[in-house]
Amino acid sequence: MCNTCGCNVTHGNAHLLAPGAKLSRTVSGHESVSVLRHLLHENDRTAAHNRAHFDRHGVLAVNLMSSPGAGKTALLEATIDVLGKDRSIAVIEGDLETENDAERIRRRGVHAVQITTGSACHLDAHMVHDALHQLDLDQFDIVFIENVGNLVCPAGFDLGQHHNVVLLSTTEGDDKPAKYPVMFRAADLVLLSKCDLLPVLDDFNPDTARRHLQELASPAPVLELSARSGSGVDAWLDWLAAAGNTLLERRDHPDATGTERQLHIP
């Protein structure tokens, strides 16, 4: 029992410590307040608001995370080339500086909103909320959020996405899941990108990456692909289609939420 973490507050004495109650403050005007709330409570509230917004419009929201240069934008370009004919796509781009990535996406004829974070190393739910004001969600089926390239900070911030997709490129090393457990634990899907380079890399074994991911107790599927050669892109699109269908089914049959979720989360 201590006064540090709040474990001294029980059902039996909580009423004495409530605001204005007998023991809520000392004679000298000292007051101890039990809070027990997540530090990013305000971010999580905005994220829930964003998610409700996506849900209401039946828009699938996917948060792409990876280290810088793992191929997030190239993946989006390859995805747009195939999926863009049947699905209406929008992209929210997060970078410290420049509109380069947004311009690459716009050249594919897809609407892109660039968030330049200045010195912030991650996107947060408020930045995405502001970006959503520039998008008419009725017009889109999928919104990709390309997070700031960074395997550390973005993992901590819920944006309101439905799924986190983490890219691990073959040039980075197959032990990245063990080195960045917080990021890879947050992944609903892991994409091993730049797999066309595997024949010339003798130090990246996809099975080793899978084993490290599994040791994080992660059930996330792992897909191998190359945006450049197009190999493996079909499996990624199948995964997206399944995620999109699940979202629409959940919206149309809200009572079945629990079972619907189990369908696509292995």
Q: Which residues contact another protein by CB under 8 A?
A: 3-6, 19, 25, 29-43, 120-122, 124, 152-153, 155-157, 178-179, 181-182, 185, 212, 214-217, 219
Contact 165, 112 (CB under 8 A): no
CB of 109 to another protein, least distance (A): 34
CB of 214 to another protein, least distance (A): 5
Closer by beta carbon to another protein, 153 or else 237: 153
Q: At what angle do helices 257-264 and 233-252 cross, to 10 degrees?
A: 180
CB of 110 to another protein, least distance (A): 29
Closer by beta carbon to another protein, 39 or else 200: 39
Interstrand relation of 89-95 and 222-224 (parallel, antiparallel or unpaired) = unpaired
CB of 235 to another protein, least distance (A): 23
Nearest to 184 by CA among 159, 208, 152: 152
Helix (H) or strand (E) holding 221: none
What sign has the CA pseudo-torsion 114, 118, 120, 124? negative
CB of 184 to another protein, least distance (A): 10
Closer by beta carbon to another protein, 182 or else 242: 182
Contact 167, 191 (CB under 8 A): yes
Q: The tokens of 145 are what?
A: 């959020």
Burial classification of residue 245, based on how many CB atoms lie within 10 Å of its CB (0-12 exposed, 13-18 middle, 19 or more buried): middle
Closer by beta carbon to another protein, 60 or else 159: 159
CB of 174 to another protein, least distance (A): 13
Q: Residue 145's beta-bridge partner residues?
A: 63, 92
Closer by beta carbon to another protein, 1 or else 39: 39
Length in residues, the chain: 266
Lay out the sheet containing 89-95: strands in order across.
Answer: 111-116, 89-95, 142-146, 60-65, 163-169, 189-193, 222-224
Closer by beta carbon to another protein, 117 or else 205: 117
How far is the C-alpha of 201 from the C-alpha of 178, rounded, in Å?
A: 20
CB of 169 to another protein, least distance (A): 20
111, HSE (Cβ side, Cα atoms, 13 Å)? 15
Closer by beta carbon to another protein, 17 or else 225: 17
